[in-house]
Structure 1
């Protein structure tokens, strides 16, 4: 599945753990499309889980945080995924950005 709205920005902690942040800001009519992408990414992460999902500092292998904020006619969706670098890179390969 190519992502139309979510654009991930990866960062590596240098110790094998990565964080992938994505943000999409859309008008309310497009929110269901963005949430479909969020759910697809999270479903892949669950299906290919490298271990238990919970904060890494609490013994989790990976975690995700989702935030939805509405301001006026616009809604911003933020998705942050943290986990092993190789696993996160496989996740990103499964969801390439759409070509503009």
Structure 2
């Protein structure tokens, strides 16, 4: 699956952990498609988990945070993933064009 709405921006901590943030702002008719993309990414993350999900500072190997906010006719969906750099880069490549 190639993502049509979510585009990830990566940052690393200088060690071996990264964070991948994606955001999409859409009208109500497109919201189900965005949420389907979020679910596809989370499903992949679970299937290819590098370890237990949870806050990294509490012993988790990876974590995800999803936020949905509506403002007038627009809904913004934000997804943030944290975890091992190689795992996150593999995840992003999986959903990139040609991935």
* Interval of TM-score (by shorter of Structure 1 and Structure 2): over 0.9
Between the two proteins, the alignment pairs up a number of residues equal to 98
- Which segments of 5 or more consecutive residues in structure 1 lack a partner in the other structure? none
Cα distance in structure 2, aligned partners of 1:33 and 1:78: 14
| 1:3 corresponds to | 3
CA RMSD of aligned residues (A): 1.0
TM-score normalised by L of structure 1 = 0.96
Matches within 5 A, 1:43-54: 43-54=43-54
Q: Structure 2-normalised TM-score?
A: 0.97
User: Residue 35 of structure 1 aligns to a residue in which SS?
Assistant: helix
Q: Deviations over 1:21-71 (max 9, x none)?
A: 000000011000000000000000000000000000000000000000001
Identify the residue that residue 70 of structure 1 maps to in structure 2. 70
Moved over 2 A (4+): none
In structure 1, what is the equivalent of residue 20 of structure 2?
A: 20
**Runs of at least 5 residues in structure 2 that lack an aligned partner in the other structure:** none
State how far apart, in whole Å, the 1-side matches of 2:86 and 2:34 are: 25
